[in-house]
Amino acid sequence: MHELSIATALVSGVTDALSQAGEHRPVIAVTALIGDLSGVVPDALLFAWPIAAEGSRCEGAQLRINSSPGRVWCEGCQVETRLTQPPRFRCGTCNTPTPHVRGGREMELVSVELADEETEPTDSPHNEEARHATTHP
């Protein structure tokens, strides 16, 4: 299962980044960039994620996948065009085959969302405390 090893790599990437940054807050969500040409099936990765995250700091965190379309560069047209699915590696303008793949092979960790992180501007810090108070009777 290819995606499980990728999910495991993402988990350890997150864990390493957080320990290097000295962060100890719980992980809420992890965003990864997955290219259309990376060979990774997003659904399979989402399925593998909780298995890989179990027992780690990412346990219970949500995985979000940003997909990246495949793109090729055409020397003749001097343009970058998106690949259609399935990819044929041809210029989208003149249909000439091109080996210059410019994107779509990404498998990257984009961002990690931590608990208690202020994701939206709040005019009063007491709002946060009030919310916590209501969720813990």
Residue numbers at the binding site for Zn ion (CB under 5 A): 74, 76-77, 91, 93-94
**Peptide bond preceding 69: is omega within 30 degrees of 0, i.e. cis?**
no
* Order of strands across the sheet that contains 27-35: 62-68, 27-35, 107-114
Closer residue to Zn ion, CB minimum distance, 46 or 101:
101
Instruction: Give all strands of the β-sheet with 71-74 in edge-to-edge order.
Output: 79-82, 71-74, 101-103
CA 107 to CA 57: how far, in whole Å? 20
Closest distance between Zn ion and the C-beta of residue 101, in Å?
A: 14
Closest distance to Zn ion from the beta carbon of 88 (Å): 13
CB closer to Zn ion out of 78 and 119 = 78
Q: What is the DSSP letter of 26?
A: P
Do 92 and 71 form a contact (C-beta atoms < 8 A)? Answer: no
Of 74 and 112, nearer to Zn ion (C-beta) is: 74
Q: Which is nearer to Zn ion, 4 or 77 (CB)?
A: 77
- Minimum distance between the CB of residue 86 and Zn ion, rounded to whole angstroms? 19
The least CB distance from residue 70 to Zn ion, in Å, is 15
Q: Report helix, strand or coil for 54.
A: coil
